[in-house]
Amino acid sequence: MDIPSEESVKKVIGHQFPGGEYLIAHWENFLLTECTGAQALPDGMAHPVALFHVPFLGANTSISEMFELGQASSEFSIGIESYEWEFYKPLMEEELYQISGSILEVERIVDEDGLFDRIKFQFDIRQDRQDIARSTITWHYNRGRYDRS
């Protein structure tokens, strides 16, 4: 596959996702928590791992669209650089959250492993104008080996 130009990849800087609302249903949190190997948390608290999927689904995007925005050649070309999650209040089951998100940064990098584009997404969760949590996702869109000569 052809490598997308740096200019075309950087066009997504500042892209705003539609945004929207999300409610973590009890059944969803039950299954999610079971996947982690933990017992259910008390008082209707959602497992913090929900801060991976709730932001992008609530912002009305998806893993597939995030791959497409970075012009990924396939699912296998994506690598995780980092996740940063900040919790200002615990996430709760059955509560409605408002979510916004955007693409903060795109950087083209060449290193000993090849060429990749580093794309940083950021999502904010609020409830009644109060900040609840923030998720920052940084992925590598690997473009394969690169001939520096």
Partner 1 sequence: MTEVSVGDEIPSWGMPRVERSRMRTMAAILRDPNPVHWDAKLVSTLPLGVGERTINQGPLGLSYMINMLHAWAGPTCVKRIFMTFPKIVLSEDAVTAKGVVTEIGPEGNVTCDIWLEREGVRLLEGNATIVFPEQG
The contact set with partner 1 (CB under 8 A) reads: 28, 31-32, 34-38, 41-42, 45, 47-49, 52-53, 57, 62-64, 75-76, 78-87, 90
Q: What is the dihedral of CA 54, 57, 61, 65, to 10 degrees?
A: 90
Shortest separation between residue 33's beta carbon and partner 1, angstroms = 9
Shortest separation between residue 28's beta carbon and partner 1, angstroms = 6
Shortest separation between residue 7's beta carbon and partner 1, angstroms = 28
Yes or no: say if 100 and 21 are a contact pair by the CB < 8 Å rule.
no
CA–chain centroid gap for 12, Å, is 15
Q: Which residue, 1 or 38, is less far from partner 1 as judged by CB? A: 38
Those residues with Cβ within 8 angstroms of residue 54's Cβ, 6 or more apart along the chain or in another chain: 22, 24, 91, 97, 99, 125
DSSP string computed for 41-64: PGGGBPPTTHHHHHHHHHTT--HH
Q: Which residue, 11 or 49, is less far from partner 1 as judged by CB? A: 49
Shortest separation between residue 97's beta carbon and partner 1, angstroms = 16
Q: What is the largest CA-CA distance in the chain?
A: 60
Q: Which residue, 90 or 114, is less far from partner 1 as judged by CB? A: 90
Q: Which residue, 75 or 147, is less far from partner 1 as judged by CB? A: 75
